[in-house]
Structures are given as C-alpha cells and as structure tokens.
Chains A and B, each alone.
Chain A
Amino acid sequence: MKKNLLGKSYGDILNMFEYGKLTTEETIKKLSVMRSGKVAQIQQTEPPEECLDEILAELESLIGLDNVKGLVKEIQAYIQIQKKRRVEQLAADALVLHMIFRGNPGTGKTTVARLLGKIFQKMGVLEKGHLIEVERADLVGEYIGHTAVKVRDQIKRSIGGIMFIDEAYSLARGGEKDFGKEAIDALVKGMEDYKDNLVLILAGYKDEMDIFLRSNPGLKSRFPIHIDFPDYNLEELLLIAERMVEKRDYKLSLSSKAKLAKIISKKRIEDGINSGNARLVRNIIERAIRKQAVRLQNGGNFSRENLLLLSNDDITEEDFL
C-alpha cells in the first residue's frame, strides 16, 4: 500500500512532530513526499464511543420496539463496514436513511426519532443530529409559489439532522387544488439533493399513511426504511409506567399498580386505538405526581418514604379540569 511508503501515515508524522521527535523541516519534507506520492487520505473522526454506548443503552431501555433496535444495529454494522471498505479503497456509498414511521399515537415515534438523531450523529452519519419537528402548516404555503420557499426553509434548517414530519398524510389531504402536493414535490427534491446529510422521517397513523403513500406512487420507493410501531400491550404499558416512575424518583405501591392496570385496560376498551398508549400512561403518572403533591401538602408528613410513594388515591382516571 502506498500508505506505507514511509511506514507512517500523515497523522503519525504530525504526532511525532508534536512529541518533539521531528523538526519542522523534516516534518514538511516527509509530508510533501507523501503528497507527491498521492497518498489517499482517510478522513475519519473516531466517534466518542462511550457516548454512543450511552445513547444505545437508552434506546435499549425502551420497552418493546424490537424492530427499531434491530434496525439501529443493522445501520451501525453497515456504517462500520463502509468505513473499513473506505480504508481498503473499495467503493463506499453514502447511506440513504429516509424513513416512514407508522403507528398509533403514543407508540414512541417521536422518542425514537429523537434518539436516532443522536445515534446517527455519534456514528458520524449526520453532522449535527438535531431533530426538527415539522407539521403541515410549516410546509404548505398560502399562495402560489409560497410552498416551495417554505419547504426549502425547513429543509435548510434540518440539514445535518433529522426532519420529522408528524401526521405527514395531512400533506396529501385537501383535494386537487391544495398546495400540499406541491410541498410533497419540493420535499422529494430536497431529500434527494441532501441525502448525504439529511434524514427525512414521515410519521403518522398506519391506515392514513398507507393511503398517503398509495396516492403518490414515487414516494414509497424513496423511503427505504419502513418501521411499524405496534400498540403496546398491557404488560408493556405497566412496565413503561414503572420505568417512568423510577426515572422521576417515585415509587408505585402495589395497590396503585393494580389501579393503574385497571384504568389503562378500561381506557383501551373505551377508546381503542386513540387511547394514547404510552402517552396515556405518562398523563396518568404526571397527574398522580401532582395529586401526591397536593395530598402531602395537606397532610404535612414529609418523610422520605411519603415523598417517594405514589399511593392508590393518587392514580386517577379523569382530569380534574
């Protein structure tokens, strides 16, 4: 390999210089020899491994979502191999990672998107890894020609990160004369132009998304990754509740757990897919925390145990508003 022309790579020589083993003249000489030898340089910044591990652990700690976890592993492996291939000077493609998330409300679409942003940034796929949440009103203009400008602005904001369009099917709603179609066209152009440094995620309810994708034949094929977010079952929801409570340094008593289970199953029967899944759990827990605060304030017993415990009475079904 040409890289070993002098037994050292560029970085090694600079390191030796830094440690005071080489003089400036020698360094420049070596570097210029390497340059004339046309050494292909591999530019790679080593990702800070620990941080990536932390984020992956966070993803791993999410309940359910096995397909997402599998996908992330796949992408991670792919990126590593592409890097190795680049070292061996084999063709290495940029990865197109546009995705479609389908699932009912509260199944973790936004949470996963946010984590993916961080993970991709740490893996070196995305530059910044921020998540821009966009909705129909941010993309669709009010008069002719306004839409493309709006879409371009949003894309510009999201370059280097993830653009997350929630309720994406609403773009295709509104009939023939609606500007939503124009927004879709502009998006398609943007996602192709910046495919190296932008990940576009369309999210929405399953049935609506299917209709949306069917209405624009070219669209589906441009999103290589489709992830379904299944509804959580009761056990998973209870696990989520426990994690949530733990994270906030509270505890659920046994009776409150039972009451929580009762409320959730009742809601699921009443409201079906709109019950809110994990969001319902979060709302109940947050309400419980507020109720507990009021209860403790009135009771006046601030022992550590009391501060920790969410009791049976704190878990309530309906909002008091």
Chain B
Amino acid sequence: MKKCLIVGKPNVGKTLFMLNFAQYLHLETVNIQLIYYNGVIENKSYKITQAKELLSSVSPFKTMCLQVLEADIPMGKGKQRIQVIDSSGLTDGIHMNVEMRRAMAQTLSAIRESDIILHLFDISSLFYDSPDHGISKVDYQLAEFGQSKNGYVILANKIDLIPNKRPIVELQKLFPDHYVIPISAKTGLGFSEVSTFVRRRL
C-alpha cells in the first residue's frame, strides 16, 4: 500500500487536513492507528466529526505521534487504498522537550518511508512584512529534499483566511520548481486537485 505523509510546521493544519480529506473521500468513520515512538500501536475508531474535535486543535503540538488512517482514492472505475499518515509538526533548531523531539524523529523517519509527501504551509501567516516571513529553514530543506522525490507537493493551506491571491503567487515564486496547490483544510477547497495529484502518483 502506498503511504502518503503529511508534514509541515506545527499548527499549519495537518490533522484537520487529513480528517477533512478523509471526509472528502467519503469516510464516515475513521480508524486511526496511533504509532508511538517506542513502537506501541493503538487503534482507535471515531466518527469523523468526533475525530475533528478530539484530534485537531487551534493550539500547536496537538499531534504527538504518527496517526495513520486508510482511505480509498477513486481510480478510474475502481479505487485504490492508500495510507494517510499524519505527523507531528517540525520546528527549527533543537526543541527543549524530549517528547517533542521523539515525535519529530518519528516524522523524519516516516519521510523516508513514504511514497507521497504532502508538505503543508500556513499561507495566512506568511508574507506579512518580509518575503519569507513565516517560512522556516525546515520548510526550505524539506522542499529541497522534495526535489529528488516524485511524490512531493506543497499545499498552501488556510486560503480561506487570505484576502487576495498575492501570498499564493509569492509562495510559488519562492519555490519555483515545485507544484503548489492552494487548499483550505477547513472548507475543503482544492481537495480535488490534491486527490488528482495523489492518484497520478499511485
């Protein structure tokens, strides 16, 4: 089964994107596998609305382990099953909390094993004053890493919060070699493009 990993800084909307994307793929209940750093695996089953309330939050560092769910992507007449993996956010530098570092190490090791990487940016917090405000070194490095990978795409999230398209254009300028899909994890804008992207790379 192909693995599709969601990465990004903390609080860019990774978990909400995963759950709403699952809903977009017509999942009503989600079976989520929580994989902890020490190898413990927990299986949980939620209604999708319940999952959104429990798993995502407005404050950063909500997700502290890998959360895996399986969904069917429509392919031609049939469909293909993929694993969507939600990871904990990556920060610059050395985080002071060892649990956060462990969670991040999990994310990094998941990057290696994934076939498709969806890299989320919070577009509403970018470009306030300087051209690369709000973009961390990790983001740049992931993008650079993604160049060597076929299944890498940048998702410019939270477009429902921006007044005009300028930030999207700016982001595309910053990463000219990458495919940027503007989306809104909250409203579901742009999900069909993401679905097409994933489908083409299966």
Using a CB–CB cutoff of 8 Å, the interface residues on chain A facing chain B are 10, 14-15, 17-25, 27-29, 31-32, 35-36, 41
- Are A32 and B101 in contact, with the CB atoms below 8 A? no
Minimal Cβ-Cβ distance residue in B for A27: B108
Which residue from B93, B145, B148 sits with its C-beta under 8 Å from A23? B93
- Contact at A24–B102, with CB atoms within 8 Å? no
Q: Are A24 and B148 in contact (CB under 8 A)?
A: no
Majority SS at the chain A contact face: helix
A24 touches B145 (CB 8 A): no
B residues 78-137 near A (Cβ < 8 Å) are 90-95, 98, 101-102, 104-105, 108-109, 111-112, 137
A-B contact pairs, 10 of them (CB 8 A): A10-B109, A10-B112, A18-B101, A18-B102, A24-B93, A24-B94, A25-B92, A25-B141, A31-B112, A32-B144
Whether B109 and A24, one on each chain, are in contact in the complex, defined by CB atoms closer than 8 angstroms, is: no
- With A22-B94, A23-B92, A24-B93 already in contact, the answer to whether A17 and B141 are too (CB < 8 A) is no
How many residue pairs at the A-B interface have CB separations less than 8 Å?
Answer: 61
Shortest Cβ distance from residue A223 to the other chain B in the assembled complex, whole angstroms: 31
CB-CB nearest in chain B for A20: B94
A15, closest chain B residue (CB): B105
Q: Does B138 contact A (CB under 8 A)?
A: yes
B86 CB to nearest A CB, Å: 18
Query: Which residues of chain B come closer than 8 Å to A21, judged between CB atoms?
Result: 94
Across the two chains, which residue of chain B brings its CB closest to A13?
B108
State the Cβ distance, A78 to closest chain B Cβ, in Å.
26
Q: A19-B101, A25-B141, A29-B141 are in contact. List 11 more A-B contacts (CB 8 A).
A: A18-B105, A20-B95, A21-B94, A24-B92, A24-B95, A24-B108, A24-B137, A25-B92, A31-B112, A35-B145, A36-B148
A20 with B92, Cβ < 8 A, contacts A14-B109, A35-B148 known: no
Contact assessment for B112 and A24 in the assembled complex, using a CB-CB cutoff below 8 Å: no
Q: Are B141 and A28 in contact (CB under 8 A)?
A: yes
CB-based contact A32/B145 at 8 Å: yes
- Cα(A287)–Cα(B168), bound, Å: 81
- CB nearest neighbor in B for A22: B94
Q: Are B94 and A28 in contact (CB under 8 A)?
A: no
CB nearest to B99 among chain A residues: A18
Query: Do residues B91 and A24 form an inter-chain contact, with CB atoms below 8 A?
Result: yes
**Contact for B108 among A14, A19, A20, A41, CB less than 8 A:** A14
Q: Are B98 and A28 in contact (CB under 8 A)?
A: no
Q: Is B142 an interface residue (CB 8 A)?
A: yes
CB distance from B7 to the nearest CB of A (A): 10
In the bound complex, residues from chain B placing their C-beta under 8 Å from that of A29 are 141
Closest residue to B90 on the A side, CB-wise? A24
Tell me the smallest distance from the CB of A43 to a CB of chain B, in Å. Answer: 9
Residues of A within 8 A of B95 (CB): 20, 24
Q: Which of A17, A21, A35 has the most CB of B within 10 A?
A: A17
Docked pose: A14 CA to B105 CA in angstroms: 6
Supposing A31-B111, A31-B112 touch, asked if A18 and B98 sit within 8 A by C-beta, the answer is yes
| Distance from A131 Cβ to chain B, minimum over Cβ atoms (Å) | 22
Assembly CA distance A109 to B157 (angstroms): 60
**Which of B108, B138, B144, B148 sits near A17, CB closer than 8 Å?**
B108
Across the interface, do A28 and B138 meet the contact criterion of CB distance under 8 Å? yes
| A262 to B111 alpha-carbon distance, docked (Å) | 69
User: What 10 A-B pairs come out closest when comparing CB atoms?
Assistant: A32-B145, A28-B141, A25-B137, A14-B105, A18-B105, A23-B93, A20-B94, A24-B138, A18-B101, A17-B105
